[in-house]
Copies of this chain bind each other. A is one copy, B any other.
Amino acid sequence: MELSTIYQPIAEDLIKVEDKIRSVSKVDFRWLSELISYSLRGGGKGIRPAFVLLSGKFYNYNLDYLLPMATAVEVMHMATLVHDDAIDKSPLRRGRPTINELWGEDKAVLLGDYLFAKAGEFTTNTQNLRVVKLFTQTIMTISSGELNQALNAFNLEQTRQHYLQRISSKTASLFSLATESGAILGQAPQDSVVVLKEYGYNLGISFQIVDDILDFMGTQEELGKPIGSDLTQGTLTLPSIILLERYPEDNPVKRLFHNRDESENIKLAIELVRNSSIIDECYAIASDFRARACCNLNLLPDIDSRPALMELANYVVNRNR
């Protein structure tokens, strides 16, 4: 199903979120405005704001609080991308040169700081300190997850367990912030808050596994960046961890990590993964987390948000970009 169809129950309100996001670039300082506009133009799929709104719809759908939160999660996500690209020195994101590529890493770090804080300011407009606190804790979780990844770059001693821990910090935490805060601001009772939080968390894991599959299976055109970029950064993801499990003696990932400049080994690793059942195994794991995400949704009220969240879960696993 197309995203636009899935978003039907909240389509008008997502446009309001987009307007709010665009308003972030309206600042007096011209250069800052330009940097913000540029980073906004990349445009995402709006999945995180959609989670906030869909999760906020089950009980008391109050846009006064849900709109700023939906905006906050997307702006915070943008901030993490700006910092990630600066840290990885990535030249491309979604097919366009990154902020660090065009303006330098120092500007990217400062722009990211600004966007984190702007996102924080949006959360205060929810008038809900519990949600603001969750927001700050999520940034702590994400940055410690990223730190874990950076400190483990080119470390071959990483298991599936390490991987799941890492992606739960760096990706699932933001998904669960989106659904949990949506539920809280929509005045859901605590058991429904837990159902939606768990949905976000498990689907976040699923989302990241698929992202990591696409880094092996996609095309540069689909991804908007070179394939195999995780391996280039020295990041082991599920496909490469399974590859290491299957060929423990000698394999291109080992050779790559030992002797870092061999781009030939990246090609070989990609081929080996593509021509094996590794991808199927990864998809099976992603589907398992999707199933965990959805298994309790039927405990929620039967409104249009519920099938939308189900379809969004399918979309996350089946997407090709």
Chain A interface (Cβ within 8 Å of chain B)?
Answer: 27, 29, 31-32, 35, 83, 86-88, 104-107, 109-114, 116-118, 120-121, 124, 127, 129, 132-133, 135-137, 139-140, 142-144, 146-148, 150-151
Which chain B residue shows the least CB distance to A135? B120
Contact between B87 and A144, CB atoms less than 8 A apart? no
Between A27, A107, A117, the greatest number of chain B beta carbons within 10 A of the residue's beta carbon is seen for A117
Contacts A29-B148, A121-B133 given; does A114 touch B87 at CB 8 Å: no
Which among B106, B114, B140 is the interface contact of A144 at CB below 8 angstroms?
B114
Which among B86, B104, B114, B147 is the interface contact of A143 at CB below 8 angstroms?
B114
Q: Is the interface of A mostly helix, strand, loop or mixed?
A: helix
Contact between B144 and A120, CB atoms less than 8 A apart? no
Contact between A109 and B137, CB atoms less than 8 A apart? no
A114 to B107, CA, bound (A): 19
Contact between A140 and B124, CB atoms less than 8 A apart? no
Contact between B127 and A114, CB atoms less than 8 A apart? no
Contact between A143 and B117, CB atoms less than 8 A apart? yes
Contact between A151 and B116, CB atoms less than 8 A apart? no
Which chain B residue shows the least CB distance to A88? B106
- Chain multiplicity (copies): 2
Contact between A110 and B87, CB atoms less than 8 A apart? yes
Contact between A147 and B117, CB atoms less than 8 A apart? no
Which among B86, B104, B106, B120 is the interface contact of A120 at CB below 8 angstroms?
B120
Which among B35, B87, B114 is the interface contact of A109 at CB below 8 angstroms?
B87
Between A35, A83, A86, A87, the greatest number of chain B beta carbons within 10 A of the residue's beta carbon is seen for A87
Contact between A137 and B110, CB atoms less than 8 A apart? no
Q: Which residues on B sit within 8 Å (CB–CB) of A107? A: 147, 150-151
Contact between B140 and A114, CB atoms less than 8 A apart? yes
A147 to B116, CA, bound (A): 15
Q: Which residues on B sit within 8 Å (CB–CB) of A144? A: 27, 29, 32, 110, 114
Q: Min CB distance, A46 to chain B, in Å? A: 23
Which chain B residue shows the least CB distance to A146? B110
Contact between B106 and A150, CB atoms less than 8 A apart? yes
Which chain B residue shows the least CB distance to A152? B31
Q: Which residues on B sit within 8 Å (CB–CB) of A29? A: 144, 147-148
Q: Which residues on B sit within 8 Å (CB–CB) of A129? A: 124, 127, 129, 132
Contact between B31 and A114, CB atoms less than 8 A apart? no
